[in-house]
């Protein structure tokens, strides 16, 4: 077994917060040692384990040892700090990030199989589909970052969908049941099919600070995160992606693999699109 260079232990927050911190440590190691580290992810993601022995990384991801380190371009550390979810999702250096995703975070065969089942079950053609993603539930704090009014997201999203005549379906994905029902009603008025992944666990808006990852019972945690990771992959491939600000939204944009004109984000109550970031 190769010598372990990094052991990731960040467990206090959500799944993609853990991935942010792990990526930051990987980038730091690469800059200091001029090579990819061997990483032990096994202590991480504890809120997604059904038993202490589960290795969530091995279940969800596969490492690619053939990524050429000599071609790596390094990232802005601020994109992977504890408060990375408070930044614009479309300001990132997508080409640089691709090296690290290819090395550590391409999804496993199990996730691919789950994704394929969902695509078949819901008859999804991603090139004709828009995705709307709202991170709600326990994200009650506004702080000029989180959308409290659903229409702040839905009105510009509807405009973007109407403008693109190729869009036939719209996926509505959220951890908050009230948003899903409201968005389903509003988007269906556009004459498109609305897709909601009914298998995904939701909860209601709450002030407890406890999200889905805190309330999923033991015995359903691994199946739940496999499902959610496969949904993230589908959202990342949709032609249009409209979102509020969150770590999950950031990683969906990362998996898109480019600086896309097809992302619309609500950031500090304002609409942000990639062309405005480049301006």
The answer on pLDDT for 120 being more than 90 is yes
- Structure token digits, residue 276: 């405005």
User: CA nearest 110: which of 60, 55, 54?
Assistant: 60
pLDDT bin (cut points 50, 70, 90) of residue 48 is: very high
Span 88-112, pLDDT tens digits: 555 555 667 778 889 999 999 999 9
Separation CA 187–CA 278 (nearest Å) = 29
Task: Write out pLDDT tens, residues 10-24.
Answer: 776 689 888 988 988
Among 230, 210, 19, residue whose Cα is nearest residue 222:
230
At 146, the pLDDT band (50, 70, 90 cuts) reads very low
């Amino acid at each position: 077994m190769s010598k372990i260079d990094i052991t990731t232990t960040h467990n206090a927050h959500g799944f993609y917060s853990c991935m942010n911190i792990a990526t930051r440590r990987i980038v730091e190691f690469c800059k200091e040692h001029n090579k990819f580290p061997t990483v032990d992810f096994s202590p991480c993601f504890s809120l997604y384990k059904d038993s202490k022995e589960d290795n969530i990384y091995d279940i969800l991801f596969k490492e690619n040892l053939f990524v050429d380190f000599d071609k790596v371009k390094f990232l802005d550390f601020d994109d992977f700090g504890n408060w990375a979810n408070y930044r614009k999702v479309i300001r990132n250096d997508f080409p640089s990030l691709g090296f690290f995703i290819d090395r550590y975070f391409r999804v496993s065969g199990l996730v691919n199989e789950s994704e394929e089942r969902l695509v078949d079950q819901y008859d999804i053609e991603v090139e004709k589909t828009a995705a709307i993603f709202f991170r709600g539930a326990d994200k009650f704090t506004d702080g000029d970052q989180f959308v409290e009014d659903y229409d702040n997201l839905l009105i510009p999203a509807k405009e973007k969908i109407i403008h693109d005549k190729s869009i036939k379906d719209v996926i509505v994905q959220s951890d908050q049941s009230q948003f899903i029902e409201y968005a389903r009603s509003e988007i269906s008025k556009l004459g498109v099919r609305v897709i909601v992944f009914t298998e995904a666990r939701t909860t209601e808006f709450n002030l407890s600070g406890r999200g889905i990852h805190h309330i999923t019972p033991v015995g359903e945690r691994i199946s739940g995160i496999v499902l959610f990771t496969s949904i993230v992959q589908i959202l990342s491939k949709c032609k249009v992606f409209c979102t509020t600000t969150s770590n999950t939204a950031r990683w969906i944009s990362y998996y898109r693999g480019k600086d896309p004109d097809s992302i619309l984000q609500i950031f500090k109550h304002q609409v942000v699109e990639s062309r405005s970031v480049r301006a």
